[in-house]
Amino acid sequence: MLERIAIYPGSFDPITNGHVGIIQRSLRIFDRVVVGVLRNISKKPLFNVEERSAMIQETFLDEPRVEVDTFEGLLVTYAEQKGAVAIVRGLRAIADFEYELQMSNMNRRLAPEVTTIFLMAEDRHAYISSSLIKEVAALGGDVHGLVPPSVEHRLMAALQTKR
Ligand code: COA
């Protein structure tokens, strides 16, 4: 039988428990989820693409249905290369909607056979973003429970070397 593959794209600088929740729920719908880490992000990243990928890999070590990969260029071209039927995006609040609608419409125009699926973020993760996590951690705030353990460790190490 044909595998149903979804791409979950993003910059993941770093992955948060919000992203983790979206990946776990996608696994209930799809046979395999490819987490596509964007190589050249416009925002200046704290972690390079290898570190960002490693943190996702460490988080899903026990889940063989999650593949962590990197990509650059058009998302839909990458999705087609991977044989994906869907792109998964998480919506946290109404503020995410407009940007996501724009992207999904453009992606549908470019590749009508790849469907964008939106999953609502859980309430407890709705306020998390990677930037907020980095800011809170840099100012000495506690991010325990908001990011996977491997991210917590790397975040502390990265911020200590920056000081
Ligand atoms: N829980 C917690 N945080 C979440 C989240 C969730 N469920 N979903 C999104 N976020 C946060 C991210 O942490 C990130 O936070 P930050 O801005 O503080 O770093 C923010 O929301 C943006 O999300 P992200 O998934 O990282 O998206 P992005 O805007 O960086 O990347 C791509 C979006 C990769 C899908 C888009 O840029 C893309 O497709 N690029 C490829 C080029 C292309 O095809 N362009 C044409 C598109 S039509």
What's the gap in Å between 1 CA and the centre of ligand 1?
A: 32
Residue type, 45: P
| 12: phi then psi, degrees, rounded to nearest 5 | 50, 55
Q: Note the pTM of the prediction, 2 decimals.
A: 0.95
Question: Per-residue b/e over 16-45, b at no fewer than 16 CB within 10 Å?
Answer: bbbbbbbbebbbeebebbbbbbbeeeeeeb
Catalytic residues: 19, 43, 92, 130
Confidence (pLDDT) at 42: 82
Cβ of 14 less than 6 Å from ligand 1: no
Q: What is the pLDDT of residues 117-147, one digit of tens each?
A: 999 999 999 999 999 999 999 999 999 999 9
